[in-house]
């Protein structure tokens, strides 16, 4: 029998990546337990706005069911380019934008553009759960660098510098950050930019949470001097417009050569995003900043209510996130194994959370909750977490 390629077999390692807690919670629900509250995934508990759904329905009703443009339809790319100045701080040529099958496809495409087999990619912890796998899928070798919760998870320039080798080709940066909610400061981003320029590295900037910033200002590293021509920006409508299932994303390329290569990649894979989805994306962007602001305010309100409930615990250390739709809780002073804590929390209280180890060693000793539950259910879950933490013993 022929064997599968090591490349595809090694994309995902055999270790529990934290989703085991969610899978266990689903099993408990199917077995009849009715007090489960899922706070694991960053998937909204409310639907995509009605005008967006109606635009998709209208496109289907008029027969827009053929192949979609692999590059992305011109009016949509022009809308994305127009919002680049207020969102990313730079002017964008619509030709440099390639519409993708969600932010994940854009992330993979950027990795393919930057990496040859065996090339190293620096990933800053804590990181979104698929980052390492995506780099391996693109043939690269992920090299993770730690950050400190005590420094607000801001990456240190010298730590980054020490990770650079002759095989390093790119840095992957995520601000606003999932899972920590940290927003990288100008000083942090200038340090990353200086290293990219000094060592002639690509930068992939995942900015999908740019609309959900509460306590700071989003700054795209592409807007810094010398960075526009070496930065791929990954963006999507999943979080900003509650469109997770639509797979509505794009990649902003540094030049036309890069965009053409991304188009070639999509030509050989998904062959473009469905036209009825692209037309729904147009309708979403036609709403301006209003819909994004409404969703961001919803999550800011939930963040505040969750933090208030969690603060009832005498043990939990909560740092209200500056951005995004999660709260990362520090348990290090009384928990040695956050994954064990998460499973015990689920069994005892019915609340499913993500162990911090799922996002890299920097988040070890933490748990992350997603704010994607109705307010009263979210507060109930946080009350359960607070009470459980105060009685937890590892003995």
Q: What are the tens digits of pLDDT across the range 169-211?
A: 999 999 999 999 999 999 999 999 999 999 999 999 999 999 9
* Residue 200, domain member (yes or no): yes
In this structure, are 297 and 336 located in the same domain? yes
The helix (run of H) or strand (run of E) holding residue 259 is helix 256-267
- Give the pLDDT of residue 13: 76
Kindly state whether residues 239 and 333 are assigned to the same domain: no
Q: What is the CATH number of the domain that holds 250?
A: 3.40.640.10
> Can you give the pLDDT at residue 375?
95
Residue 190 lies in a domain: yes
| Degrees, nearest 5: CA angle 20-206-354 | 20
Q: What is the pLDDT of residues 309-346, one digit of tens each?
A: 999 999 999 889 999 999 999 999 999 999 999 999 99
Q: Are 367 and 242 within one domain?
A: no
Q: What is the CATH number of the domain that holds 368?
A: 3.90.1150.10
pLDDT at 270 (0 to 100): 87
Domain limit, last residue, from 287, 307, 325: 287
pTM score? 0.94
> Domain check: are 215 and 331 in the same one?
no
Same domain, yes or no: 209 and 196: yes
Domain assignment of residue 112, yes or no: yes
**Domain-embedded: residue 221:** yes
The tokens for 344 are 């015990």
Boundary of a domain, candidates 234, 261, 287? 287
Q: Which among 287, 319, 344 is the end of a domain?
A: 287
- Please indicate, yes or no, if residue 1 is contained in any of the structural domains: no
Expressed as residue numbers, the domain containing 269 is 63-287
My answer on whether 281 and 341 are in the same domain is: no
Are residues 257 and 226 in contact, defined by beta-carbon separation less than 8 angstroms?
no
For residue 115, give the 3-state DSSP assignment.
coil
- Phi, psi for residue 179 in degrees, rounded to 5: -105, -5
One domain for residues 191 and 294: no
Residues 14 and 67 grouped into a single domain: no
Q: How many CB atoms lie within 10 A of CB 186?
A: 11
Q: Profile the chain (395 residues) by mean pLDDT over runs of 10 residues.
A: 90 72 92 94 94 97 94 96 94 97 96 96 95 95 95 96 98 96 97 98 98 94 97 97 96 97 95 95 92 95 97 91 95 92 95 93 94 96 96 83
Calpha distance 69→58 (Å, rounded): 18
DSSP per-residue codes, 34-92: ---EE--S---SSPPPHHHHHHHHHHHHTT--SPPPSS--HHHHHHHHHHHHHHHSS--
> 210 with 353, same domain?
no
Q: Would you say residue 89 lies in a domain?
A: yes
Rg of the chain over CA atoms, in angstroms? 21
Q: What is the pLDDT of residue 129?
A: 87
Mark whether 245 and 370 lie in a shared domain: no
pLDDT of residue 280: 97
Q: Which of 70, 85, 46 is nearest to 260 (CA)?
A: 70
Number of domains within the chain: 2
Are 300 and 283 in the same domain? no
352 neighbors 25 (Cβ within 8 angstroms):
yes
Quick check: is 54 in a domain?
no
CA–CA separation, 132 vs 128, rounded Å?
9
Residue 206 lies in a domain: yes
Q: Hey, what are 159's tokens?
A: 């730590």
One domain, residues 263 and 302: no
């Amino acid at each position: 029998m022929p064997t599968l390629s090591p490349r595809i077999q090694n994309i995902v390692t055999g270790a529990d990546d934290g989703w085991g807690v969610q899978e266990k919670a689903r099993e408990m629900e199917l077995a009849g337990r009715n007090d489960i509250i899922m706070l694991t995934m960053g998937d909204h508990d409310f639907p995509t706005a009605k005008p967006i759904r109606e635009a998709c329905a209208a496109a289907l009703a008029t027969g827009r069911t053929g192949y979609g443009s692999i590059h992305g339809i011109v009016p949509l790319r022009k809308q994305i380019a127009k919002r680049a100045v207020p969102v990313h701080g730079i002017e964008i040529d619509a030709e440099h934008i390639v519409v993708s099958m969600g932010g994940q496809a854009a992330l993979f495409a950027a990795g393919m553009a930057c990496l040859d087999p065996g090339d190293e990619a620096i990933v800053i912890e804590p990181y979104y759960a698929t980052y390492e796998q995506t780099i391996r899928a693109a043939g690269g070798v992920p090299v993770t660098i730690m950050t400190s919760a005590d420094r607000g998870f801001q990456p240190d320039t010298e730590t980054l510098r020490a990770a650079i080798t002759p095989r390093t080709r790119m840095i992957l940066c995520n601000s606003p950050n999932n899972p920590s909610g940290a927003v990288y400061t100008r000083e942090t981003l200038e340090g990353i930019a200086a290293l990219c320029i000094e060592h002639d590295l690509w930068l992939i900037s995942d900015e999908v949470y740019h609309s959900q910033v509460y306590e700071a200002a989003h700054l795209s590293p592409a807007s810094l001097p010398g960075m526009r021509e070496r930065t791929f920006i990954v963006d999507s409508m999943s979080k900003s417009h509650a469109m997770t299932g639509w797979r509505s994303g794009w990649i902003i390329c540094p030049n036309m050569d890069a965009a053409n290569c991304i188009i070639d990649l999509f030509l050989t894979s998904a062959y473009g995003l469905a036209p009825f989805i692209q037309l729904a994306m147009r309708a979403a962007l036609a709403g301006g900043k209003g819909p994004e602001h409404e969703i961001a305010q919803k999550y800011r309100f939930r963040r505040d209510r969750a933090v208030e409930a969690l603060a009832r615990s005498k043990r939990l250390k909560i740092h209200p996130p500056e951005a995004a739709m999660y709260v990362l809780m520090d348990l290090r002073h009384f928990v040695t194994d956050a994954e064990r804590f998460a499973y015990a929390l689920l069994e005892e209280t019915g609340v499913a959370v993500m162990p911090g180890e799922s996002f890299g060693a920097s988040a070890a000793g933490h748990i992350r909750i997603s704010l994607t539950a109705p307010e009263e259910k979210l507060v109930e879950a946080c009350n359960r977490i607070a009470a459980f933490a105060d009685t937890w013993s590892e003995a």
